[in-house]
Structure 1
Amino acid sequence: MNDLLIHVRSLDPWTRAAEYGVGLAALLEASVTGAFVYPSPLQVAPTYSSPELLAAIFASARETAGLARAQAQPFLHWARERGAPQAAWHVAEGDAAEALAHIGTWHDLLLLDRGSDEPSTRGPAELARLILAVGLPCVVVPRHAIVPVSLDCIAIGWNGSQEAVRAIHAALPLLQRATRVVLLQGPLRRTYPEITWKPPLDIDLYLQRHAVHAEHRPLGNDAGEAGEALLEGAAHVGADLLVMGAYGRSRFSEWALGGATRHVLADAALPVLLRH
């Protein structure tokens, strides 16, 4: 992975995603881009607004844009100090998912903050919408600092699903750097009866072709507790990163992730790479 993108949601201090993303770029000797996205005044203005209110909203947006653009040199300097000399800074106006999807067209991985318990911060629906909309593998970073950034042990949530295969494919450059890869194997996803039979992937052979040797660690058979089992398994093997598919059991709307994914995003103490 040569180009990492960070959704920077706070300029002072830098967020956990920024800290982890810059550290990961240093580890991978990759370039890193910080992207700050603020809403368009037209997005936040009430439907019926007085001229005075509209003027204030536009003035506030201009001030936010100015403050964000002024962070370019501080971000580049901060990244260089932490071992990532190839850094860039972008400021965008509009919907975060659309802006990140656009910038992401020339990046390999997106770093996102899980957010905090404060009501003003990103909610689970917004985080899910970003993961499903940007078209990039995403690493969701927990609320506490990850120091040092390491890829010594990577755990994979494996159930044979297409989402899990996509996540593993996206994570191959990271898996190839790990000294230990552990497949946390749950019940294999059953194919819907109305769909033509599809041959299963031989995951061990696939990984071996990419110079990755994986251990197997079985999980329980209770699908309702899959998220908890994944986190327990990752903690047991001392994983630095968990790789899993973004969908779970639910696909009823673009913002609703499956139950296992929601549980992992809510409670994970380690970074999680997802790909839908």
Structure 2
Amino acid sequence: MNDVLAYANGHDDWEAGFGFAARLAARLDGCLTGLNIFPSPAVPGGFYGATETFAAILESVRKAETAAYAAGAGFIAWAGRHGVRAAAWQVAEGNESNVLQRLGNRHDLLVMARDAHAADEHVRLGQILLHSGLPLVLLPPAWTRPPRFDCIALAWNGSAEALRAIHAARPLLRRARRIVVLRGELRDAYAEIGWLPPFDLVDYLACHGLEAELQGIAESGDAAGPALLEAAHLQRADLLVMGGYGRSRFSEWILGGATRHLLGHASLPLFLRH
């Protein structure tokens, strides 16, 4: 995880928008890119004066973008004071999922916070998670605590998404004092067309020098989300690693109930990977 991408709206308070990401990049001895995204101005129509209205909207957006660009030097200096080895500042215009997908091609991890006031926030986050191509560290709203890895919890149900998330989180797992596997109902390897090879997560972690404890989760389906959060808090976890489970392969933005619940209610940082 040498290249961390941090996304936040605004550039008035570096600590509030990017503090966690800066400290994480410093701990990983990685580079940090801060990002602001502005939506493309929409062209109004159907009423008198629409052209003038659009011109005013466009001018306002361009002024905001110019101010965001000018803030770059301040961001880079601020990140350096937090021990970040190298920092950069990006301003983009367009659909945020498309922008993050493009930047994901040269970054290893995305860090951002959940917006507590946005309508259908789980849909927006699901689109980012499924299309950015990056592991995502999702912070609760207004999260101000620094990164801690005294205990990292792993949500495990035997799925490919869960394994990809755990595999991607290994640089953070190596810094954990405790690793707890929250094991739910495992998927049956013989229920698929053809037999899937057997896999033992604890053995896999041990091969990478990581010792893990096991904790069973009785709930399944949509009830698994609240059960995972409760178990993570009982273990005093600083981070919960889980896969982003899509309910439908044909409508990927519709996430499964457990993922949807965690995206909306998690009160600790999540590490997510689809």
Secondary structure in 2 matching 1:102: helix
After TM superposition, give the deviation of residue 202 of structure 1 in Å. Answer: 1.5
Query: Structure 2 vs 1, CA of residues 29 and 244 (structure 1 numbering), >3 Å: closer, same or farther?
Result: same
Partner of 1:207: 205
Q: Deviations over 1:73-121 (max 9, x none)?
A: 12112212222241110111111111111111111000121112255xx
Instruction: For 1:246, give the aligned amino acid.
Output: G
Q: Deviations over 1:207-253 (max 9, x none)?
A: 11111111101111443310111111111111111100001545452
Partner of 1:82: 82
Asked if 1 retains the 8 angstrom alpha-carbon contact of 2:189 and 2:198, the reply is no
Asked if 1 retains the 8 angstrom alpha-carbon contact of 2:190 and 2:196, the reply is no
Matched, 1:36 2:36: yes
Moved over 6 A (4+): none
| Structure 2 Cα separation of the partners of residues 159 and 74 of structure 1 | 44
**Structure 1 gap segments, 5+ residues each:** none
Partner of 1:156: 154
| Structure 1 Cα separation of the partners of residues 134 and 206 of structure 2 | 24
After TM superposition, give the deviation of residue 148 of structure 1 in Å. Answer: 3.0
Q: Deviations over 1:179-205 (max 9, x none)?
A: 111100000024584622212322112
What TM-score, normalized by structure 1, do the two folds share?
0.92
Instruction: For 2:224, give the aligned amino acid.
Output: A
Secondary structure in 1 matching 2:169: helix
Map 1:46-61 to 2 at 5 A. Answer: 46-48=44-46, 50-61=50-61
Partner of 1:110: 110
| Structure 2 Cα separation of the partners of residues 164 and 71 of structure 1 | 38
| Structure 2 Cα separation of the partners of residues 196 and 23 of structure 1 | 46
Q: Which of 128, 132, 135 lines up with 1:134 in the alignment?
A: 132
| Structure 1 Cα separation of the partners of residues 212 and 17 of structure 2 | 28
What TM-score, normalized by structure 2, do the two folds share?
0.92
Asked if 2 retains the 8 angstrom alpha-carbon contact of 1:16 and 1:143, the reply is no
Asked if 1 retains the 8 angstrom alpha-carbon contact of 2:7 and 2:112, the reply is yes
Q: Which moved more, 1:212-221 or 1:79-88?
A: 79-88
Partner of 1:62: 62
Partner of 1:245: 243
Secondary structure in 2 matching 1:106: coil
| Structure 2 Cα separation of the partners of residues 124 and 213 of structure 1 | 33
Asked if 1 retains the 8 angstrom alpha-carbon contact of 2:155 and 2:162, the reply is yes
Query: Structure 2 vs 1, CA of residues 14 and 47 (structure 1 numbering), >3 Å: closer, same or farther?
Result: farther
Partner of 1:93: 93
After TM superposition, give the deviation of residue 145 of structure 1 in Å. Answer: 2.5
| Structure 2 Cα separation of the partners of residues 62 and 86 of structure 1 | 28
Query: Structure 2 vs 1, CA of residues 197 and 39 (structure 1 numbering), >3 Å: closer, same or farther?
Result: same
| Number of residue pairs aligned between Structure 1 and Structure 2 | 272
**Structure 2 gap segments, 5+ residues each:** none
Matched, 1:220 2:218: yes
Query: Structure 2 vs 1, CA of residues 236 and 61 (structure 1 numbering), >3 Å: closer, same or farther?
Result: same
Query: Structure 2 vs 1, CA of residues 99 and 38 (structure 1 numbering), >3 Å: closer, same or farther?
Result: same
Query: Structure 2 vs 1, CA of residues 143 and 47 (structure 1 numbering), >3 Å: closer, same or farther?
Result: same
Query: Structure 2 vs 1, CA of residues 58 and 221 (structure 1 numbering), >3 Å: closer, same or farther?
Result: closer
Query: Structure 2 vs 1, CA of residues 17 and 271 (structure 1 numbering), >3 Å: closer, same or farther?
Result: farther
| Structure 1 Cα separation of the partners of residues 94 and 247 of structure 2 | 31
| Structure 2 Cα separation of the partners of residues 131 and 231 of structure 1 | 19
Cα-Cα RMSD? 2.0
Query: Structure 2 vs 1, CA of residues 115 and 198 (structure 1 numbering), >3 Å: closer, same or farther?
Result: same
Asked if 1 retains the 8 angstrom alpha-carbon contact of 2:245 and 2:259, the reply is yes
Matched, 1:26 2:26: yes
